[in-house]
């Protein structure tokens, strides 16, 4: 494997992706199908430009053609063992979705660029999921649910799924971070960290990724294995993989526990910290490549 330690994400590329998705395209969901398809086309073009073969998984939701988008870096040693990284590219009704979740998609696109420089030991699969937001979340037909069901039917050996969900807001101000009851006694009151969150079944691999991240990055990290009933813990595409008995986790800035513009029209690109997002993305890249070499 070629060494990746000098390969870094850039704030400029991340900013460009977020502005394209959240400003040029704007609100994107089945109620604005032209914008949803524009986001799909943009992600596809970026990945094809990097030399990837993009595999769509299409279905119809609320009468609108919708598609998950998948690319793969096949492992050189354990090609059938998969680490999956995903981010949803739709936005909630009434919001341009800069942090939720153009930030996650931007990181996904930067990770794909960085991965062209390495040959991972295990397969790294990147998926842009459609239709994560209401009315699909939990009661409808999110793209990740169809994906996870199909993966289970086909016997795909997904060792860990990581969902990039709302990862662009950071603050050093005291009191900038809130929590569900009780957790505030155990974690910092400054929202300057990224959080790794899993259920109890997935905690061993979540902690393994956290160790790999800390070994290659000084970006502040907190992690927790928590019950899905706690608000926010299951609020992304990793839930679909939990339901299919895959080990999965969320990587997040904690969304509404920190970001005051969550699910509003004010979730706009200028509110994100792109330099910190670049540091985070670089750390995730190095950690994922390292995790692909470890026993899972």
Is residue 125's pLDDT more than 80?
yes
By three-state DSSP, how is residue 226 classified?
Answer: coil
Angstrom distance (rounded) from CA 268 to CA 128? 20
Structure tokens at 163: 């969902």
Residue ranges of the domains in the chain?
11-291
* pLDDT for residue 1: 36
Q: What is the CATH number of domain 11-291?
A: 3.40.630.10
pLDDT digits 0-9 by tens, 144-203 = 999 999 999 999 999 999 999 999 999 999 999 999 988 888 999 999 999 999 999 999
Q: Distance from CA of residue 145 to its chain's centroid?
A: 15
Residue closest to 262 by CA, chosen among 100, 113, 134:
100
pLDDT tens profile 28-49: 999 999 999 999 999 999 999 9
3-state helix, strand, coil in the chain (%, to 5): 35, 20, 45
Quote the crossing angle between the two packed helices 104-115 and 11-19, to the nearest 10°: 130
Q: What confidence tier does 6 reach under pLDDT thresholds 50, 70, 90? A: low
Q: What is the pTM of this model?
A: 0.96
Q: How far apart are CA 158 and CA 173, in angstroms?
A: 39
Count of residues for the chain?
A: 296
Please write the tens of the pLDDT for every residue from 219-270. Answer: 999 999 999 999 999 999 999 999 999 999 999 999 999 999 999 999 999 9
In this structure, are strands 122-129 and 221-225 parallel, antiparallel, or unpaired? Answer: unpaired
């Amino acid at each position: 494997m070629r060494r990746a330690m000098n390969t870094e994400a850039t704030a400029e590329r991340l900013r460009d992706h977020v502005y394209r998705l959240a400003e040029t395209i704007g609100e994107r969901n089945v109620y604005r199908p032209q914008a949803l398809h524009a986001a799909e086309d943009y992600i596809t073009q970026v990945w094809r430009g990097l030399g990837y073969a993009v595999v769509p998984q299409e279905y119809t939701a609320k009468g609108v053609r919708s598609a998950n988008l998948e690319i793969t870096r096949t492992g050189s040693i354990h090609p059938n063992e998969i680490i999956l990284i995903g981010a949803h590219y739709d936005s909630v009704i009434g919001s341009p979705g800069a942090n939720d979740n153009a930030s996650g998609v931007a990181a996904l696109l930067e990770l794909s660029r960085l991965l062209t420089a390495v040959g991972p030991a295990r397969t790294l699969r990147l998926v842009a999921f459609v239709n994560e937001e209401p009315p699909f979340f939990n009661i409808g037909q999110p793209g990740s649910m169809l994906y996870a069901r199909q993966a289970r039917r086909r016997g795909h050996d997904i060792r860990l799924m990581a969902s990039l969900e709302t990862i662009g807001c950071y603050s050093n101000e005291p009191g900038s971070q809130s929590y569900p009851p009780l957790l505030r006694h155990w974690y910092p009151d400054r929202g300057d960290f990224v959080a790794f969150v899993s259920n109890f079944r997935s905690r061993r691999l979540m902690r393994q990724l956290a160790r790999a991240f800390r070994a290659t990055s000084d970006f502040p990290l907190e992690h927790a294995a928590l019950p899905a009933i706690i608000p926010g813990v299951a609020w992304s595409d990793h839930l679909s993989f939990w339901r299919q008995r895959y080990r999965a986790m969320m990587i997040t800035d904690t969304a509404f526990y920190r970001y005051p513009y969550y699910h509003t029209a004010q979730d706009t690109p200028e509110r994100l910290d792109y330099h910190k997002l670049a540091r985070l993305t670089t750390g995730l890249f190095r950690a994922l490549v390292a995790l692909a070499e470890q026993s899972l």
